[in-house]
Amino acid sequence: MLFSARQAEIMELAKEQGRVLVEELAARFAVTPQTIRKDLNDLCDSRALNRIHGGAVFPSGNENVKYEARRSMAAAEKQAIGRAAAALIPDNSSLFMNIGTTTEAVGEALVDHKELMVITNNINVANRLRVYPSIEVVIAGGVVRGSDGGIVGEAAVDFIRQFKVDFAVIGASALDEDGALLDFDFREVKVAQAIIANARHVILVADATKFERTAPVRIGHISQVHTFITDRCPREGLRAICQDKDVRLIETNPEGPLN
């Protein structure tokens, strides 16, 4: 489809900045938010941009990697991270696990645990662990995201808020130098925020590739987690934040190459 001059400029802004917001665009072009929303709808319908809450983002090559391909990326590193996280979780515990290929690696490492209660919005984790009689699996309700089997939306958030668990295992699509934890889908972010708020000990699992990515939606800050497990943390700023905020940093392969 042909874009208007304003839509073309919105596209260029999104490309330069990574994302654009309705209110900021309305002020910039001196039009109503409704007009900007129509522009964004047109751009997103044509797949020129991807919609987020309150605006849109320029499509990222990393964002569009298929879930099965992401599962194979840094697979050995994710498995090591999974084993390290599982080692922190004792038998007879309750825990949240959210969406992500690294959290799935943690699930794989938990299969020998006894008397676990696992509450998840990740269909893949639920399906993997449900066959073990010593692990009780509780799955959230809500909208199932076809791309990765994640359950998102307000119903999932309300479900998570019913619990107070011993541990939470969470992932993130990207980690910023300032300690921000980032994702692409604001619906999944809401679930992750509810998980963080209702766990006594939060474990963040993320391989080193996440340091080289960016995403538009903020989950929270690394200071909100208790333990951060990665294969390698090459960002001195993040190391300093972990030390300052008393976040335990575990590196499974600190000398390894950055993928």
- DSSP per-residue codes, 40-87: HHHHHHTTSSEEETTEEE---TTTTS-HHHHHHTTHHHHHHHHHHHHH
pTM over 0.85: no
Which of 98, 73, 72 shows the shortest CA–CA distance to 85? 98
Place of tokens 């107070």: 164
Residues 195-205, mean pLDDT to the nearest whole number: 98
Provide the pLDDT for residue 66: 59
Provide the pLDDT for residue 147: 76
94-97 and 165-170: which strand pairing? Answer: parallel
Which residues have CB under 8 Å from 138's CB, separation 6+? 117, 118, 119, 120
Residues 152-163, mean pLDDT to the nearest whole number: 94
Which of 107, 114, 128, 11 shows the shortest CA–CA distance to 58? 11
Residue 204 to residue 254: CA distance in whole angstroms: 17
Express each pLDDT in 237-247 by its tens digit.
999 999 999 99
Residues 110-116, mean pLDDT to the nearest whole number: 97
Enumerate helices (H) and strands (E) in the chain, giving the number of each.
10, 15
Q: Are the beta carbons of 110 and 89 closer than 8 angstroms?
A: yes
Evaluated on CA atoms 81, 82, 83, 84, the torsion sign reads positive
Domains defined along the chain, listed by start: 5-57 (1.10.10.10), 68-251 (3.40.50.1360)
Which residue(s) pair with 143 in the sheet? 152
What angle (nearest 5°) sits at the alpha carbon of residue 205, between those of residues 203 and 206? 150
Q: Are the beta carbons of 88 and 226 closer than 8 angstroms?
A: no
Residues 177-200, mean pLDDT to the nearest whole number: 93
Q: Are the beta carbons of 202 and 223 closer than 8 angstroms?
A: no
With cut-offs at 50, 70 and 90, classify the pLDDT of residue 64.
very low
Provide the pLDDT for residue 62: 47
Mean pLDDT (the chain, rounded): 89
Provide the pLDDT for residue 72: 67
Give me the DSSP letters along 3-51.
PPHHHHHHHHHHHHHSEEEHHHHHHHHT--HHHHHHHHHHHHHTTSSEE
Q: How far is CA 12 from CA 7, 19, 116, 179, in A?
A: 9, 10, 50, 28
User: Of the ranges 46-50, 165-169, 210-214, which one carries the lowest mean pLDDT score?
Assistant: 46-50
Please check the confidence at residue 259 and state whether its pLDDT lies above 60: no
With cut-offs at 50, 70 and 90, classify the pLDDT of residue 67.
low
User: Of the ranges 10-14, 126-130, 159-163, 244-248, which one carries the lowest mean pLDDT score?
Assistant: 10-14
Give percent of the chain above pLDDT 90. Answer: 65
Residue 208 to residue 223: CA distance in whole angstroms: 18
